[in-house]
Amino acid sequence: MLGVAGALAGCCANNVCDCDDARADAFYFKFDTGPNGFVPATELDTVVLKRYTLQLDDKGRPALIKTNKKTYTAYADSLDNAGVFDQANVVRYIPPASATPLRPRVATDTVIVNNNAPFTQAGPRKLNTYLYRVEVRRAPGQLLRNNPRRYELSKISLTGEFYGTGCCTCYRNLSKTGVLINLGVPNSDTPVVATETGQVMPVLIQK
């Protein structure tokens, strides 16, 4: 028995686990840049992502709606007004003529929301214990700079499992859903299904 345990330990010592599960729970969003979509050079100058911490019950589940009888939007508004949120500028468009080695050109139309990106993960909390907002701002001097288009991602649900053989235990996501709202358009709740089936398909944010 000791011999078998020793052989297994030796096998594990030489085995490299390649789980590739760091972004298993991630949501990918892509801005619509089609004919009626956003213009990257002016309307995606700066995209701000905000994270709001949800209250949890004894089982670690969001308890906001049941305990306070508030909607997610009203709750986020209250934290927004109080300045109690995390913020990250996740997209910055820089015209080629303005680009420098210290400020390289960034031309992207996608945003990722993950357990540890673009915000640091706080303990065991995963992204389903937060509410997120995406603010789309135009270039300086244009109308939407101080009145951005705002989108809200709430009611995030994650289902996953651990699996493995021998020495490696990895994690995989089985389902990730949520609700995306255009806060400037009444009754615009859109169910989000971001579950991957072999290929990452970003969720489209429409203008």
Q: Give the strands of the sheet with 27-31, arranged side by side.
A: 110-113, 27-31, 203-205
pLDDT value of residue 83:
92
3-state secondary structure of 110: strand
pLDDT value of residue 11:
52
Model pLDDT for residues 136-195, shown as the tens digit of each residue: 876 555 555 556 788 999 999 999 998 886 678 888 899 999 999 999 888 888 888 888
What is the SS3 string spanning 53-99?
ECCECCCCCECHHHHHCCCHHHHHHHHHHHCCCEEEEEEECCCHHHC
Model pLDDT for residues 53-103, shown as the tens digit of each residue: 998 887 777 776 554 446 888 889 999 999 999 998 876 666 667 666 665
* Distance separating alpha carbons of residues 25 and 127, to the nearest angstrom: 8
pLDDT value of residue 85:
93
Res 9 pLDDT > 50: no
pLDDT value of residue 179:
92
Kindly state the average pLDDT of the residues 108-128. Answer: 87
